[in-house]
Structure 1
Amino acid sequence: MNDSTERKRDSETMENNNESRKSVTLNLESYELHDDAKDGVTVVHENRSSSDYSPVKYHWFYSVDVEDKSIWRGFSITDSRALEEAYNSTDLNEDTVVATDGGRYDVNVMKRLRTAVYWTEKSTDVSRCSWFYKGPTDARYVPYSEEVAKKLEEEYHHGMTTGEWHRRLLLPNNELVVMHGPSVMVHFLNSGAADAFSAPPQSTSRPRVVRRGHDESEIEDTEPSSIDHLLLLCHGVGSACDMRFRSVEEVVDDFRATSLQLVQSHYKNSYDNGTVSRVEVLPISWHSTLHSGETGVDRRLAQITLDSMPRLRNFTNDTVLDVLFYTSPVYSQTIINTVCSELNRIYNLFVKRNPNFTGRVSLGGHSLGSVILYDLLCHQTPEPQNGSLPAKKLVNGPTGTSQLSIKYPTLVFRPAAMYALGSPIAMFECIRGVESLGTEFALPTCDNFFNIFHPYDPIAYRIEPLINPRMRDVKPSLIPHHKGRKRMHLELKDTMSRVGADLKQKLIESLRTTWNKWMSQPPTDGQLEKVVEEEMEKEQLCDESKEEFEKQLASSGMSGRLNGGRRVDYVLQEAPLELINEYLFAMRSHVGYWESEDTMLLMLREIYDALGVQPDGTLPQQGMTVQRTKNARDETITIDHPSTSRGGT
């Protein structure tokens, strides 16, 4: 009886264990896992109805090459929606093109190609993306190809409609994607991974995280469609524009992005209410034409270049020699024609693509590019004409090169302003034999001119002393910091200068008091009497000279007509780290204008001041300290408006 009862009890225990193995339930958030012992297949059943499924939202991406690596970037929300609308249109055909990136690129929807509009570059791939993955070391999600994404969506749809999960999808590259549920999906680089509960594959790489759809909050803000101003920037020597050896198109992209950020921060109220939009910045390139096969420059240079130090010699041929080419009668004409042709072509194309544009155009040139634009503007006529201007002997002219005869083409527009960045214009004028431009000198069709430079830039030169020799004793106008104040080390430097001036004044007053006391007694030291008398005379002369100099600065003729009577030379504030060694940061300062927020803000203030729009609030500005190197080395003069234009903020 006892044995029978025990066997019955053991039998019931085994049945309970078997039943337990057949139906083991694990609560994993919103799903339940059921392990069926009969067929050994693991299936995840989600506690949702099939009606929970909704079609995936697509976002369009384009590929770019960054440091020899191809990465994918998302179009703006507006551009992506325009591409999706064109894709779903019944009129879709092989010629369907959508303008993106503020009109700077065109996308062929059927061919999935993105092509630059204003400059020449290799077309890049475009993809309609819906599924993404992210590896352990990836900084952002990477889209799957459209074919893989389609398969993933089919598997996802099957799971949502049937409630069955833990499905695998083997990719063409022998990698494996496992869907544990609607929000738990992994991508194994090794297809040997059996399932979610088996041992991990013998691989050093961790699985990737898979995501359906893209978060639009990770996409950059859309550019305003309206454009307030067009800025055309011409590069200097060489094909590389900065220390990272980026092309002019790449650095101009950063410059444009900086301008939009500054508009949104410094003109926030006007931007939010639609008073201002943005400034379009486009590149002007001439280097590729000069070094193309048509001119034969590179071929001839290769024949005469020594074999030693090939990298240095190639760098010299590609950059430094551009300056010599510009002084050559043949190649100077090629460069001038190329720049003018590009300016007119891009302007006409821009107006055609933006028929509602009513703003003006400004020019900017870096290094040798500023010299090219300057020479071109010097030979324009107030009333634009068709064709080229007559050839001019420029030996004694203000922009001439010795024994050169150049035909200067005509621009089809009148620039509002020219900005010279790190410019050797004054040096070129000097080697051309120009001693003085004179206060009456001005560009025929351009009313405003700004010479912007970093204090440590070895290529930059001042222009104001060529206009008026007395401006040699006046420091260039200090460009305000984009955060609204002087850098701390410059404020400290000015404070120490004022302390030194105060100490000097107190010393003179002490000597005067002592002298007055001694005047009531017979002089006992003739030498001291002479020293005190000379010091008092110098002080009086300095005071008189200071008053006279301030009156002259207040007059409109001091800086000439080149910039409408305003200052021409503008200097950036050096960073504290640059004070360590001026020579160490010399070349970096020459190519740093493309990333300078202070430079861009100066341009924005000039542009929007002409439109009657002022920055938000009143940023604290420091007065410009003007030192005189003649007769009063330690005296200072403070000018009330050191800012960029029209005495602005």
Structure 2
Amino acid sequence: MDNELKAENFLLNGGQNEEVTNQTYQPVKHHWFFKRSLDESKEIWLPFSKKDSAALEEAYVSEKPTPEKIVATDGGRFDVNIELRIKTPVYWKGEPIEVRRCSWFYKSSTSAKYLPYQEHIAANLEIEYKSCFDNKKWHKRIELPSRDTIVLHSHDVIVLFPPSIPTDDWNQTPTQERPRVVRRGVEGFDIEEGELEKVDHLLFMVHGIGSVCDLKFRTVYEVVDVFRSTSLQLLRSHYQSSCEKGTANRLEVLPISWHDELHSEDTGVDKRLKSITLDSMSTLREFTNDTLLDILFYTSPLYCQKIISTVGNELNRLFELFKKRNPSFKGRVSLCGHSLGSLILFDLLSHQQSPEKDSKEACNAGQSIKPDRRISHMYGATGAGITRIHYPQLTFQPKALFAMGSPIGMFVTVRGLDSLGEDFALPNCESFFNIFHPYDPVAYRIESLINPKLASVKPMLIPHHKGRKRIHLELKETLSRVGADLKQRVVDSVKHTWNSLFQMGVVPAYGPALEEDTRVIEEEEVEETSKNIEPEPPLTESVGILNKGRRVDYVLQESPFELFSEYISSLRSHVCYWESEDTMLFILKEIYSTMEVKPDSQIPQATMTIERPLDAGSRRGSAVITTPPVSSQIEQNVNGTT
């Protein structure tokens, strides 16, 4: 950044008084970048991590044969062909991404980010730069093929002048663009260190309806990238000591896509839908055909088979490919599904065959782990044109299933099953967690299907990732606590006044009417306090063995802005899980608890956080308020009041 400031000052001073110092020429250090297109007219270049760039550079300068110059990057999820300068995904289909070995950078007139020059241009600039050093002559002007002019004023002051703009029809010369700074090397760039090689746990994520997963129209591959990177940040912040000791490394998250296969030319479903779709409101009808109809497709035996087979086969294929590329992997595998994706995984796991060993252990324990009869009832009988669905058998045993914004409960009910029963469990999966936002219109509970008495029991509240409740929930509890305290003071004051008047002979003894009124007030106080403040009492009803005797339903905390408008927030709440740090940390804690790795007791955090809706320019919107907790302030005021 010092060189950039010097260049800026040089431009502000009109190119005067620049001190040229004697420096020793140092060859530029190259760094590898890849291109990401935001739209048809805008693109940005992002740096590989330091670890990946070093591996690419080592392969580039090596003397190995061309076929061997393929380097795995991004935790092994991409392969880079150095000769072709392309980056391709390993686990899913995708267009090749251009990569570049970069050393010189400039800013365009429309972008605030630095863009790398093409390699041959950067090489020529480096030759001219070295020549200025060797000859001790600066202020060298270099004209580029784009007609831009670069001036090498000194070793750390390099500027770019756009091409001259001709006069217009009125013989007036428009104001020329201001010169821009050129950077040599990547010193000062914010570049990540890179992902660790060791993977602790593998998590497969299955998307819901449609080809996009959120309101930003991002694909499952893009939202999983966000989920993975944010989870890594949470792991490093909440498991810092475990990361330093090497007991916690990283969670690998891979996407599973089934939408493209369903709407491919092989099925021909899009072509048939197009022939019967009305011409009016074309955008809305295209959205319906591409998204909402996926729910109906899943209820059709023909297309349900296509979806189930795609997901099951992809899970097996990616697991085998992952093991091949990570032969030292000894961890477990979990599954996560969003919306309809959670139902697909639930149905798939419900039809897995129990291992013989587990079956014998279950029989010895007197437990039933074969809900085949109940499950077969859920999906109906064959015959009368109804096709039996063939469910692929997984080649691995999932540790847990995480359902986000899941309609499983609704589908089970619609299929005609009143109750799953306390002995219901997924044959080949140990744990099940039903995670939902309180305003999610697609999410339904599961516990009441296990035990109808649990319908009146609130779901478990997922903690905030900063270690405290959101501000409005804290304020609500604080006000309840203050109200209860004031109410108790009123009751005590009435009792004291009545006793004083009785001793003076003014009023009769403490009568049953006043006793009843006091008792009612005290009972209301206790009820209100326990409802808003006290932790939930231990469950007396069984939650079954679906989650090994633990709770199944888990609810996120809504933000203050969502509280103001539940209906407006409903659509966003259904797709909030991809960026919900609370959801990510909850999954991390459940996964690492099975490895006996606990989070740190103290984590870096702000005093209080208010989350606001996402804007177009940021990935997560949050405003941090560094004020003392509201609860402590109010409690101090109450305690100081007589």
CA distance, structure 2, for counterparts of residue 558 and residue 509 of structure 1 = 41
CA distance, structure 2, for counterparts of residue 591 and residue 61 of structure 1 = 31
Structure 2 counterpart of 1:606, which letter? E
Q: Deviations over 1:249-306 (max 9, x none)?
A: 0000000001110011000111122221110111000000000011011101111111
* Corresponding residue to 1:276 among 242, 245, 248: 248
Shift of 1:507: 9.3
| Aligned twin of 1:60 | 32
TM-score norm. by structure 1 comes to 0.79
| Aligned twin of 1:629 | none
Shift of 1:618: 5.6
CA distance, structure 1, for counterparts of residue 300 and residue 219 of structure 2 = 25
Shift of 1:204: 3.5
1:112 and 2:96 correspond: no
1:78 and 2:51 correspond: yes
Moved more, 269-278 or 237-246: 269-278
| Aligned twin of 1:234 | 206
Q: What's the secondary structure of 2:35's corresponding residue?
A: strand
Structure 1 counterpart of 2:377, which letter? G
Shift of 1:523: 14
- Identity across aligned pairs (percent)? 54
| Aligned twin of 1:224 | 196
| Aligned twin of 1:21 | none
| Aligned twin of 1:475 | 458
Residues 439, 559 of structure 1: 8 Å contact kept: yes
Shift of 1:400: 5.3
CA distance, structure 1, for counterparts of residue 157 and residue 522 of structure 2 = 88
CA distance, structure 2, for counterparts of residue 274 and residue 597 of structure 1 = 23
| Aligned twin of 2:117 | 144
Residues 231, 364 of structure 1: 8 Å contact kept: yes
| Aligned twin of 1:331 | 303
CA distance, structure 1, for counterparts of residue 561 and residue 381 of structure 2 = 39
| Aligned twin of 1:302 | 274
* Corresponding residue to 2:178 among 197, 206, 209: 206
1:397 and 2:377 correspond: yes
Q: What's the secondary structure of 2:557's corresponding residue?
A: coil
Structure 2 counterpart of 1:83, which letter? L
Q: What's the secondary structure of 1:465's corresponding residue?
A: helix
CA distance, structure 1, for counterparts of residue 511 and residue 17 of structure 2 = 105
CA distance, structure 2, for counterparts of residue 529 and residue 155 of structure 1 = 98
CA distance, structure 2, for counterparts of residue 616 and residue 512 of structure 1 = 48
| Aligned twin of 1:592 | 576
CA distance, structure 2, for counterparts of residue 568 and residue 380 of structure 1 = 20
CA distance, structure 2, for counterparts of residue 327 and residue 509 of structure 1 = 63
CA distance, structure 2, for counterparts of residue 144 and residue 63 of structure 1 = 12
Residues 64, 73 of structure 1: 8 Å contact kept: yes
| Aligned twin of 1:10 | none
Structure 2 counterpart of 1:571, which letter? V
Distance change (3 Å), C-alpha of 1:323 and 1:512: farther
Residues 350, 375 of structure 2: 8 Å contact kept: no
Shift of 1:217: 4.9
1:101 and 2:85 correspond: no
Distance change (3 Å), C-alpha of 1:384 and 1:323: farther
Distance change (3 Å), C-alpha of 1:593 and 1:530: same
Q: What's the secondary structure of 2:124's corresponding residue?
A: helix
Residues 72, 79 of structure 2: 8 Å contact kept: yes
| Aligned twin of 2:263 | 291
TM-score norm. by structure 2 comes to 0.79
Distance change (3 Å), C-alpha of 1:29 and 1:372: same
Shift of 1:94: 4.5
Q: Deviations over 1:448-502 (max 9, x none)?
A: 1100000000000111111111111111100000000111211222344456667
| Aligned twin of 2:360 | none
Q: How does 1:93-492 map to 2 (within 5 A)?
A: 93-135=66-108, 138-190=111-163, 203-215=175-187, 217-383=189-355, 397-398=377-378, 403=386, 405-492=388-475
Distance change (3 Å), C-alpha of 1:572 and 1:522: closer
Q: Deviations over 1:163-188 (max 9, x none)?
A: 12222222112222121222222112
Shift of 1:119: 0.8
Q: What's the secondary structure of 1:320's corresponding residue?
A: helix
Structure 1 counterpart of 2:145, which letter? P
Q: Deviations over 1:534-583 (max 9, x none)?
A: 979999x999x99xxx999455x611111111110000000011111100
Shift of 1:424: 0.4
Residues 378, 444 of structure 1: 8 Å contact kept: yes
Distance change (3 Å), C-alpha of 1:542 and 1:114: closer
Distance change (3 Å), C-alpha of 1:450 and 1:551: closer
Q: What's the secondary structure of 1:602's corresponding residue?
A: helix
Distance change (3 Å), C-alpha of 1:616 and 1:474: same
Q: What's the secondary structure of 2:346's corresponding residue?
A: helix
Structure 2 counterpart of 1:473, which letter? S
Q: Deviations over 1:622-649 (max 9, x none)?
A: xxxxxxxxxxxxxxxxxxxxxxxxxxxx
CA distance, structure 2, for counterparts of residue 523 and residue 252 of structure 1 = 68
* Corresponding residue to 1:558 among 533, 542, 545: 542
Instruction: Give the alignment's Cα RMSD to 1 decimal.
Output: 3.6
Residues 478, 570 of structure 1: 8 Å contact kept: yes
CA distance, structure 2, for counterparts of residue 401 and residue 262 of structure 1 = 46
CA distance, structure 1, for counterparts of residue 410 and residue 374 of structure 2 = 16
Shift of 1:216: 6.2
| Aligned twin of 1:627 | none
| Aligned twin of 1:16 | none
CA distance, structure 1, for counterparts of residue 587 and residue 310 of structure 2 = 25
Shift of 1:56: 1.2
Shift of 1:90: 0.8
Q: How does 1:560-639 map to 2 (within 5 A)?
A: 560-617=544-601
CA distance, structure 2, for counterparts of residue 209 and residue 510 of structure 1 = 75
Structure 2 counterpart of 1:76, which letter? S
Q: Deviations over 1:337-383 (max 9, x none)?
A: 00001111111111110111111111000000000000000110122
Shift of 1:439: 0.9
Moved more, 181-190 or 571-580: 181-190
Structure 2 counterpart of 1:176, which letter? T
Structure 2 counterpart of 1:48, which letter? N
Q: What's the secondary structure of 2:319's corresponding residue?
A: helix
Q: Deviations over 1:490-527 (max 9, x none)?
A: 1222344456667888999999999xx9xx999999xx
Distance change (3 Å), C-alpha of 1:506 and 1:86: same
Structure 2 counterpart of 1:397, which letter? H
Residues 378, 399 of structure 1: 8 Å contact kept: no
Distance change (3 Å), C-alpha of 1:465 and 1:185: same
Structure 2 counterpart of 1:120, which letter? K
Q: Deviations over 1:37-69 (max 9, x none)?
A: xxxxxxxxxx537xx222111101111112442
Residues 508, 535 of structure 1: 8 Å contact kept: no
CA distance, structure 2, for counterparts of residue 382 and residue 536 of structure 1 = 56
CA distance, structure 2, for counterparts of residue 384 and residue 291 of structure 1 = 38
CA distance, structure 2, for counterparts of residue 57 and residue 529 of structure 1 = 86
Unpaired runs of 5+ residues, structure 2, are: 1-14, 167-172, 358-371, 606-642
Structure 1 counterpart of 2:572, which letter? R
CA distance, structure 2, for counterparts of residue 393 and residue 468 of structure 1 = 19
Distance change (3 Å), C-alpha of 1:442 and 1:501: farther
Residues 360, 415 of structure 1: 8 Å contact kept: yes
Structure 2 counterpart of 1:164, which letter? K
Shift of 1:533: 13
